[in-house]
């Protein structure tokens, strides 16, 4: 009754939350398993950004009814954004769910499971579902525990199994870390670090402020200590996470005060500087930012902090000023392009990814043409392209002039084709060059090894297990839309 499988839907924030829950459960004596067939307890960590993501999780939970009939002691829990968004209303469709836990209560999961297990073992029917979606002060500081592959392997598999269900189409690689297979040499060389949660932007299409609450940042010293501990355990690359990561420390007194003469340096850039100074950390990434966060201090940081990878996720959402206003996005297409150009001026080899919504209510052919031309001009290497989905409770859900599905699909395919050509062209330009790769481990076939370049391109190559966790030079010999293939240049590598 202590074997737990965690299935994660959605974004990297959800992956990080699942990892923290797994670590807390492991510390409480639970066993984190890598297959749902082996578990006594299944936790679905859910996403609400799109209706399709919610329906996928609901379908999975409904499918498990048969298992609960065959296995009366089986425990099913729903965590995260959908739990926060729907709460007790989930029981109308899923009456057999034992546990519903919102986004600010992940740290309570071990105690709730203890109570459910104690009731099962005592033969006492636990009649009512445990539901906790209340807000909790300082909940952002609870997501600090890590369960790495080096801790035993199984836990990493369980919490890394879910690809994002928030976008209709993704091309040019992805930002996940689930490509490496398990093996004796498996180790986790990259990790997510949550620095900020919640969002104050209230974009008209987005339900995140409801599911994640107001912006809340962690103390800088706590984050730095967490990264130090990860580096001591072999992690070489960290990705700083937040709903709007560039808003870090904007509201909190916990953020460090500005030093003399540095009043123009934001708390987020000061955090980047402190993480950059840590020994053992070789690469730094961050996601997801907002265009308004790219002030000159952050742009300049890409030129003066070598560990900060030349890879930026910069959500565009639309290239039409009229639609951006309807979305309540506080920038124009010209301002957005100015940010892209400023970053390329500092790092000409910068890699860009983005989020785009097609078919937002009222989007005309002329509006979409504005998006298409800006999408082409920015020359993205990767993108998450969304077909607008109505989210009940958001202003956009009440707007008229909803766009037909077939129009959304056409616009989606237009951008996908541009993206495919961009990504293939960028990858092909790397053939014959030597790229720094962080070796993660064997790929899913077990025959080759996998790693990432500084530009977050997936690389496949032959290597020795001893190189896992090392930065090595890779001579690129061929390329596809999503991957690079090559040979390591090992002269001087121990």
Residue stretches of the annotated binding site: 11, 47, 81, 199, 203, 206
End-to-end CA distance of the chain, in Å?
Answer: 45
| Integer Cα distance of 421 and 425 in angstroms | 6
| Integer Cα distance of 429 and 136 in angstroms | 49
Is residue 98 within 8 Å of residue 130, measured between CB atoms? yes
Element spanning 430, H or E: none
| Integer Cα distance of 215 and 203 in angstroms | 14
DSSP state of 203: -
| Integer Cα distance of 227 and 240 in angstroms | 10
| Integer Cα distance of 362 and 89 in angstroms | 31
- In the annotated binding site for [4Fe-4S] cluster, the residues are 11, 47, 81, 199, 203, 206
Beta strands in 222-317 (DSSP E): 237-241, 283-287, 311-313
| Integer Cα distance of 52 and 390 in angstroms | 10
| Integer Cα distance of 481 and 322 in angstroms | 33
At a CB cut-off of 8 Å and minimum separation 6, what does 277 contact? none
**Residue closest to 358 by CA, chosen among 422, 433, 410, 304:** 410
DSSP state of 436: E
| Integer Cα distance of 43 and 88 in angstroms | 17
């Amino acid at each position: 009754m202590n074997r737990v499988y965690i299935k994660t839907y959605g974004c990297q924030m959800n992956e990080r939350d699942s990892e923290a829950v797994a670590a807390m459960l492991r510390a409480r004596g639970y066993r984190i398993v890598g297959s749902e067939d082996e578990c006594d307890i299944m936790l679905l960590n859910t996403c609400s950004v799109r209706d399709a993501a919610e329906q996928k999780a609901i379908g999975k939970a409904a499918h498990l009814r048969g298992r609960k009939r065959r296995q009366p002691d089986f425990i099913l829990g729903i965590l995260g954004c959908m739990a926060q968004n729907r709460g007790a209303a989930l029981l109308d469709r899923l009456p057999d769910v034992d546990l519903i836990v919102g986004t600010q209560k992940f740290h309570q999961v071990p105690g709730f499971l203890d109570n459910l297990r104690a009731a099962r073992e005592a033969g006492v029917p636990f009649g009512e579902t445990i539901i906790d979606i209340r807000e909790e002060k300082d909940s952002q500081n609870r997501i600090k525990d890590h369960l790495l592959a080096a801790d035993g392997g199984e836990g990493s598999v369980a919490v890394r199994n879910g690809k994002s269900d928030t976008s209709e189409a993704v091309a040019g690689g992805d930002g996940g870390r689930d490509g490496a297979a398990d093996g004796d040499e498996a180790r986790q060389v990259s990790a997510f670090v949550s620095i900020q949660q919640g969002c104050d932007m209230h974009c008209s299409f987005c339900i995140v402020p409801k599911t994640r609450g107001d912006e809340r940042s962690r103390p800088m010293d706590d984050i730095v200590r967490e990264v130090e501990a990860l580096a001591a355990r072999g992690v070489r690359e960290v990705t700083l996470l937040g709903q709007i990561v560039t808003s870090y420390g904007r509201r909190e007194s916990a953020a460090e005060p500005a030093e003399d003469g540095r009043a123009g340096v934001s708390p987020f850039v000061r955090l980047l500087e402190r993480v950059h100074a840590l020994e053992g950390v070789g690469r730094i990434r961050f996601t997801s930012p907002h265009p308004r966060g790219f002030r000159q201090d952050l742009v300049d940081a890409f030129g003066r902090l070598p560990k900060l990878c030349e890879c930026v996720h910069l959500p565009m959402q639309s290239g039409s000023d009229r639609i951006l206003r309807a979305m309540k996005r506080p920038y124009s297409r010209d301002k957005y392009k100015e940010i892209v150009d400023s970053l390329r001026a500092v790092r000409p080899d910068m890699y860009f990814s983005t989020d785009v919504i097609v078919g937002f209510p009222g989007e005309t052919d002329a509006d979409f043409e504005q998006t298409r031309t800006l999408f082409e001009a920015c020359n993205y290497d990767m993108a998450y392209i969304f077909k607008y989905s109505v989210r009940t409770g958001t202003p956009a859900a009440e707007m008229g002039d909803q766009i037909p599905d077939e129009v959304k699909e056409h616009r989606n395919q237009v951008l996908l084709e541009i993206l495919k050509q961009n990504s293939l062209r960028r990858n092909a330009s790397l053939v014959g060059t030597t790229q720094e790769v962080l070796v993660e481990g064997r790929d899913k076939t077990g025959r080759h090894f996998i790693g990432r370049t500084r530009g977050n391109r997936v690389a496949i190559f032959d290597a020795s297990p001893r190189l896992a966790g090392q930065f090595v030079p890779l001579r690129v010999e061929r390329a596809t839309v999503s991957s690079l293939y090559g040979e390591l240049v090992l002269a001087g590598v121990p």
